[in-house]
Amino acid sequence: MNKPLRRIAIFCGLLVLTLLIRDNWLQYVQADELKEDEHNRRVAIERYASPRGDIIVDGKAITGHATTEGDFKYKRTYKDGAMWAPVTGYVSQAFGATQLESIDDGILTGNDDRLFFRNTLDMITGRKREGGNVVTTLNGAAQKAAYDGLKKQGAKGAVVAIEPSTGKILSMASYPSYDPTSIAGSNDAAGEAWNKLQKKNNPDDPMLNRALREVYPPGSTFKVVTAAAALEHGKYDSADEKTDSPLPWTMPGTSTELKNEGNIPCEDATLREALRVSCNTVFGKLGYDLGNDKMLETAKKFGFTEEQFVPVRSSASVFSEGMNDSQVALSSIGQYNTAATPLQMAMVTSAIANNGTLMKPYMVDELQGPGLDTVEKTEPEEMSEPLSADNAQILQSMMETVVEDGTGTNAKIDGVKVGGKTGTAQHGVDNSENPYAWFISYAKADDGSSPVAVAVVIEDENAVRDDISGGGLAAPIAKNVMEAVIDSKK
């Protein structure tokens, strides 16, 4: 071969090599990046070329699909969408996906790596790819009771119910809510619906999942955490031992007396009596006596200061370190900067009801392939032990007194042992805005086990201030949720 031909051959060979390198770079190195590029319309077209799998509650789908015109053949639909939105999130041709729709997108679309062999077989046989299902732990009757209760109240709020023995989330409701079907498409109507839901256009912020993402001052419901700390750290050994609680009590380092709500019997009250009538002085001084470190230690065991993943992310609840004595006292009655999600307070109640063991909360029971075969099964997992079984039972007896003969009587259920705690949490600068109404509770079965623990919070901006109380606004909703779970097990 003469010299010019050899040069041309070498040059052509280099061109071919360059093309091969570039081709492999695109297919293997940049594949994922190109696949996820928002401008890659072919991926989006493929994504909506077949129906998604379903999200399942009580063995029935709460999702569906509809055909559409244009490049995207299918869009997502939801049954009772507003009720289930805090669980499902949304999947939209125009606006992406959130919550379970996003986290388990691979299963729902059939693109999950764990479905590789199934997809390969379908490709060989020419069968169209199908999505799998997400089977939740939710209880439909409990969710309806929670959502209907919030809707009837007409105020912002949230409910979380947990099965204490396993950590299964039975209900997760938030109000106001939205119907994800309205934003599932990519047409003008979906865009208009989306704009109306944005917080800048709707101050009620219906897309906010208040059950997981909003942190509220827990008010007097936090007193059960303070009581747990007092029992666990040996400050008191029983519910009926008198406490060292003077009245009035001036917070350390200040000239400010910690006030109780009304003329209630709080001087040297027992833990049982102090919880029954909700004495600020008793629990504020308890927190001060224990100190910041011991209070923080107990709060952390209940899950405070850490984000939770259920698998949707929940905001971290707050109990601070490095506080001065009066700040510790206020934090120990659920004020100062103590803050909790409804999920967190349901976890607190669940641990107490489960004899001191906190199970990790979760709301996906099983992931299924297109043929309903199990791809992944969630097993209950112990998260921590905030208090001993003996101390948990002491605290249960105190909470049951609250419902039998205290501030929580609106949660009574005939023939069922119920424990609870009310809370009315200060809100706004110098307590200028309407307080939040809280109620936490659990129900006991005949064998002593607890099928359900509940946390309810109501933020009613329009209510008459003096009419706001955890026992009045939140306890009836908790009662209905507990009854729904109990009835579903019969």
State the catalytic residues: 220
Q: In terms of Cα–Cα distance, which of 299, 241, 247 is closest to 272?
A: 241
Q: Which residue, 218, 100, 106, is CA-closest to 169? A: 100
Distances (CA, A) of 66 to 50, 56, 77, 319: 10, 18, 7, 47
The DSSP symbol for 133 reads E
200: CB partners within 8 A, 6+ apart? none
Question: Alpha carbon of 268 to those of 158, 291, 325, 402: distances in Å?
Answer: 35, 19, 20, 18
Is 169:361 a contact under the CB 8 Å cutoff?
A: yes
In the chain, what's the furthest Cα-to-Cα distance? 110
Give CA–CA dist 281/274, Å, rounded.
9
According to DSSP, the residues that pair with 374 across neighbouring strands are 368
Q: What is the DSSP string of 139-173?
A: -HHHHHHHHHHHHHHTSEEEEEEE-TTT-BEEEEE
DSSP 214-243: --B--GGGGHHHHHHHHHHTTS-SSTTSBP
Task: Give which of 180, 215, 169 is closest to 309, Cα–Cα.
Answer: 169
Contacts of 125 (CB under 8 A, 6+ apart): none
Q: Give yes or no for a contact between 170 and 144, defined as CB atoms under 8 angstroms apart.
A: no
Neighbours of 346 (CB within 10 A): 31
